[in-house]
Every structure is written in structure tokens, then in C-alpha cells.
Chains A and B, each alone.
Chain A
Amino acid sequence: MKPAIAVRQLTKAYAEGSAGTLALSGVDLDVHAGELLMLVGPSGSGKTTLLSIMGCILTATSGSVRLAGREVSTLREKELPAIRLEHVGFVFQGFNLFPTLTAGENVELMLDLKKVPAAKAKKRAHELLDQIGIGDKYDAFPSDLSGGQKQRVAIARALAGDPGIILADEPTAALDSHTGRNVMKQMTELAHRRGRAVVIVTHDSRVLDFADRIVKIEDGTIAAGSLPAIAQMPNKLPIHDRPVYGMAGARLEVTL
């Protein structure tokens, strides 16, 4: 089966004055449908840059990115929004909900972008919020929601477009431990039950046990010499049996 995301020899350089900064160098990575992959690594290592390129928000300097089998690295910038809309749902650290819209309207907005008729969109938004356990918050504004509830609305919004890929940037960073784990359960469900390819950038060691696979990025590369990042990984291994790529050994000893 083709991976939902296939990244090959990805390089991203930022121009900085006369010199350039290499944010990513020669990254290879596959993410499969039904898999929850976590990208870890120190600040500035290139995790978010990799996530942005996989989400067609940034373009790569060189290399290949395929989403659902389609090469997107060669597309023009104005073609990328349509790809994002079709294939990718985002969950952000700061939730990025529209503060002037209710929870339901935040979800409906995504459906509106996909040109779903208003009545259908309203019904679908109700369903999504129900599924995620906050159906009663449809008319609540983000300012009236807790952090966990906001993140659930964000997840519902990401799901509204029915994307095959969910990309999340530090989704638990602004949440307490209990709420963070609840949100991670939702994310895991997206991967395992709904068959989405879920990629999460995180510094939060409390939630690593939810990962099917953990890939460590250091200095713009996937750490260590081998390329198991493109291997298909089992979902259900106990946390201590799951390999951490980019580390010297197979045992999980991630220092974040």
C-alpha cells in the first residue's frame, strides 16, 4: 500500500542575509494511513519545518513530497491551498479557532471551504462535535471553552474536511496532563479507527506512549544512520517495545 505521506531527500534552506540556513537536509520519511507518528527533537531541529512542508504550507528547496500518491513538491504556490484543503487537516498548539465564531461555526467554516451546502454543513458539524464528545458546546464561543474543549473543536474542524492526513503541532502543549492525554486518545482514534495518517510534532514526553512510531529530528536530519523511518511500523506494540529512530538503540529513551 502506498504511504499517505512519502518524503524523499527533502531539503529546506532559508536565506538569511548572504548566508543560508539549512533547516532540513536529506530527509526520508513515510507515514501510512492508520499510523500515529510523532516527530520529536530539540527546538530548531526542523520538526515544524518538516510538518509545514508535509502540509504544503512551506515548499521544499529540493526533494520530493508525495501526498496520497501525488507529487506536490513541484506544484506552484497557488495550487497548494487546494491540496491542503483536500488532503490535510491541521491541529495547532494555540488551537487557532476563530474567536468570533461558535464552536459549531468553526467546524462549519471548514465545510464551507469544501463547498458543502450550509444545511448539510450544520448537520455535519453537529455530528463531528458529538463524536468528539462536545456536542453540547456547539453554540459556545472559544472564549467560553476550556483548553481541552478548544483542542477538540480544532480536531473536529480538522476532521470536517475528511482529510487523509492530520498534522498536529504541539497539540498538548497548552493543556494539562489529563486533558492532554484525552486529546491524544482522540488523535489515536483518528489514526487507528478512522485510518488517518497522523503526524504530531511534540515536546511533551507525557504523551509519547500514544505513538506508533517516534522519529527524532536533529539538526535537520533524521538522527542516526539507518532509514527505518520509511518502514511500515506496527501500531499496537507496548511503548517500551516501540523503536525510536534517530537514537543509538531500539529502546525508548527519548530526552526532549
Chain B
Amino acid sequence: MPPLAQRNLFHDKVRLTVTLTGIVFAVVLIVVELGLFFGFTVTTSNLIDHAGADLWITSPKVPYVEMGVPFSERKLNQIRAVPGVGDAQKLVAQWTQWKLHDGSQESVQIVGANPDSPLGRPWNLVEGRAEDLKDPDAVILDEIYKQKLGVSRVGEVFEVRGHRARVVGFTRGIRSFTTSPYVFSTFKHGQDFTGMREDQTTYILVKAAPGADLKQVRRGILSQVRNVDVYTTTEFSHMTRFYWMFTTGAGVAVLIAAVLGLVVGFVVVAQTIYATTMDHVREFGTLKAMGAPNSYVYKVIMKQAGISAVIGYVLGMIVSVFVVHASQKGGAAILMPMPMAVGMFFVTLTMCVGAALVSINKVMRIDPAMVFKG
């Protein structure tokens, strides 16, 4: 087949630029909106997903991680006694106030755990070590929030709820979904920073023993420890995500933006593909007059759409990668996991082919007699 589809696309550079710009715009728009949605979703449960626990023991009816209600730390020993429990550690996760050098205050979320255990420790450290938390008054926070909390370097001392807090390290990419950054400390310091009673904890994190049946461990804890709820990490993560994304409406807004991005993207692509097809409508009329069956014309239009989709996707993803990369330094992360990047190809292809179908409908109604009109 003579390369009619390719030539139709590449012959008019201005039209090609307009078409590809439309597709690239749509791809980037969808990636950004969906990426924000995924970014927000992942951020809400960041702490749970990285705590390294299999089970989370909470006070009854805790809806999400930030809403933990303190309970007696004596339950820790009861839990450790349950068969199948490999490790169990207390975790304090509570809001408190961080005082900056200029006297102003910022709300932060203290995450206090045993630095000798892998459960509940800070991750992605770019300066300092988790073990440094054992130093007196030590705290670790994320580099994204340096400016917000007035921190410029390791070693600086601040005041948290009347207690000294000395910065001993920085993490990277540990965002909080709320406006309050996470500040990591030991469990003991965490109690001090949040004013929690010494015999209380917000959570108990459990790591099952190797080979233990998690369901059985969970049943064991529920039967032997009263007045607690037990969630798997996945369950608690989903509960927290669902709360922030849907109960508060924050996620719904982002999701609506993502859907709108998809719709706007589709409309932009549909418009550009339609215009590209309509530019060649007389030629399609000629093809039909020459005796080309509809399937032949379909093939040409679909090929045009397919080529546009592939080029638009590649260019769109290049731009998107830059946008995603740039967002990592900001407060709102745009995530583009591999399945989403791959899925975007099919979304782009679907948009282009869908748009082509709209124009095909128009082309199929062309009266081939149009070829006789001058």
C-alpha cells in the first residue's frame, strides 16, 4: 500500500505539529492528574506502607493512621506472648507543635519508635542514620520540609512542645498528606514531644515470625488481647487511603480532576485527529470514487491515528518524565508507576482510535459524487 497514512501525517508539518501538540498536551495532562491522584493516595499511607509491620494493633475503631488513640503499652507483652509473633514494637504517631527559631510554630506529626528495631524507623535517609535517633533529643525529618520547619543543617536544635529537638538526619521523599510533616524520634522522645503518658502507645506494630500464618496470628491477638483492633498493613493502608481520598473529599477532587483530565485530553485529541482527517476528506472521497471499499479507507484513517498515538505518546512521556521528576522536589508528588506509564500508551491509543472512529463516521457519509464538484 502506498504510504498514504504516513504521508498525510508528515506532509504538512504545521498540521503535524498541531496534531502532536494536542496529543502531547492530552498525555501530559492525564499523567499529571492521574499522577497527582496516585501521589496523594500513596502519600496518605506512606507511614503504614514503610513501617515494616505485618499487623497494626490499634485502639478500637481507629479510622486512619493520623487518628490513633493512645492505649495501654502493657498490651505489648500480651501481644509478644501470642504464638507466631516474631517482633512487636510500640509506635507513637501524634500531632504536636514545632517551634521555629523566629518563635513561630508549625504543626508536625511525631513518629516515635524503637530505633533498634526495623519496625517504624525512618527510611530513605540521605543524611544521618536511623540509629542516630538514640542520641539525646534526636529527630530526623524530610529534606522537603527543611524550609517549612526552618532547618538548614544537621545539628540544629529546635523546641518541640517545650522539649529540645536536635536534627540528626534527613530523609528524602517522605511526604505527609496533611500540612504537618513527619518528624521521626525514639518512642520515648515521641511520648515527650506529644505529651503522651509514659504507659501509653498509639500503635503496636507486629512482625510475624518466619513461616507463621498471619491470619492465625491475628486471630490469636484478638482472642488474647482485649479492646484492640488488629489490621494487616494492607487493610490499614486501604482504610487510611480511603479516609483521606474519599471521606474528606480531598481525593474526590483530585479524582474528578483526573477524570476531567481524561475527558479534556480525549476532546483535544478527538478534535485534532478529526481535523487531520477532515483535511483529507476530498482525498477519501476520491478513494471511494476509485472503488476503494470502506475497509481500505478505515485502514488509512486508523493508521494515521495509530502513528499519531505512538509519536504523541513517546513525546508526551518524555515531557511527563520531566514533570514527574521536577515534582519530586515539591510538596505534592506526581507519581508515574510503570503500569501507569504502560497503561497511558493504551489510553493514548484508545483516544486516538476513538477520535478516528468519530471522523470515520463522517468520512463514511461522504458522497463520492463530491469528486465531480470542481
A31 at the interface (CB under 8 A from B): no
What 6 A-B pairs are tightest by C-beta distance, nearest first?
Answer: A85-B291, A100-B7, A84-B291, A100-B11, A105-B2, A96-B286
A143 to chain B, nearest CB (A): 10
Q: Which residues of B contact A109 (CB under 8 A)?
A: 1-2, 4, 287, 290
Q: Which residues of A contact B287 (CB under 8 A)?
A: 109, 113
Given A101-B2, A105-B2; A81-B369 close (CB under 8 Å)? no
Q: Which residues of B contact A118 (CB under 8 A)?
A: 1
A90 touches B283 (CB 8 A): no
Given A57-B369, A100-B11; A94-B374 close (CB under 8 Å)? yes
B287 to chain A, nearest CB (A): 8
A48 touches B4 (CB 8 A): no
- Where chain B touches its partner, the secondary structure class is helix
A88 touches B291 (CB 8 A): yes
A93–B282 Cα distance when bound, in Å, is 14
A51 touches B372 (CB 8 A): yes
Chain A: CB-nearest residue to B285: A96
A131–B7 Cα distance when bound, in Å, is 27
B292 touches A81 (CB 8 A): yes
A57–B289 Cα distance when bound, in Å, is 7
Q: Which of B1, B289, B291, B372 contacts A82 (CB 8 A)?
A: B291
Q: How large is the interface on A (under 10, 10 to 19, 20 to 34, 35 or more residues)?
A: 20 to 34
Q: Which residues of B contact A105 (CB under 8 A)?
A: 2-3
A3–B367 Cα distance when bound, in Å, is 28
A112 touches B282 (CB 8 A): no
B291 to chain A, nearest CB (A): 3
Q: How many residues of chain B are within 8 Å of chain A by beta carbon?
A: 24
A105–B4 Cα distance when bound, in Å, is 9
Q: Which residues of B279-321 are within 8 A (CB) of A? A: 282-283, 286-294, 296
Chain B: CB-nearest residue to A112: B1
A112 touches B289 (CB 8 A): no
A112 touches B372 (CB 8 A): no
B8 at the interface (CB under 8 A from A): yes
B340 to chain A, nearest CB (A): 36
1/0 per residue A114-133: CB within 8 Å of B?
Answer: 00001000000000000000
A29–B3 Cα distance when bound, in Å, is 40
Chain B: CB-nearest residue to A83: B291
A98–B285 Cα distance when bound, in Å, is 11
Chain A: CB-nearest residue to B282: A96
B372 touches A100 (CB 8 A): no
A85–B287 Cα distance when bound, in Å, is 10
B291 touches A108 (CB 8 A): no
Q: Which residues of A66-103 are within 8 A (CB) of B? A: 78, 81-86, 88, 90, 92-94, 96, 98-101
A73–B31 Cα distance when bound, in Å, is 54
Q: Which residues of B1-23 are within 8 A (CB) of A? A: 1-4, 7-8, 11
A110 at the interface (CB under 8 A from B): yes
A93–B292 Cα distance when bound, in Å, is 20
Q: Which residues of A38-68 are within 8 A (CB) of B? A: 48, 51-52, 55, 57-58
A85–B8 Cα distance when bound, in Å, is 23
A126–B287 Cα distance when bound, in Å, is 21
A212 at the interface (CB under 8 A from B): no
A161 touches B291 (CB 8 A): yes
B157 to chain A, nearest CB (A): 71
B371 at the interface (CB under 8 A from A): yes
B4 touches A98 (CB 8 A): yes
What 11 additional pairs, Cβ within 8 angstroms, besides A92-B371, A96-B289? A57-B289, A81-B292, A81-B294, A83-B291, A96-B286, A98-B4, A99-B283, A101-B3, A101-B4, A105-B3, A109-B2
A52 touches B2 (CB 8 A): no
A93 touches B374 (CB 8 A): yes
A113 touches B289 (CB 8 A): no
Q: Which residues of A contact B291 (CB under 8 A)?
A: 81-86, 88, 113, 161
A84 touches B2 (CB 8 A): no
Chain B: CB-nearest residue to A52: B369
B292 to chain A, nearest CB (A): 5
A73–B331 Cα distance when bound, in Å, is 71
Given A96-B282, A113-B296, A161-B291; A108-B2 close (CB under 8 Å)? yes
Q: Which residues of B contact A157 (CB under 8 A)?
A: 290
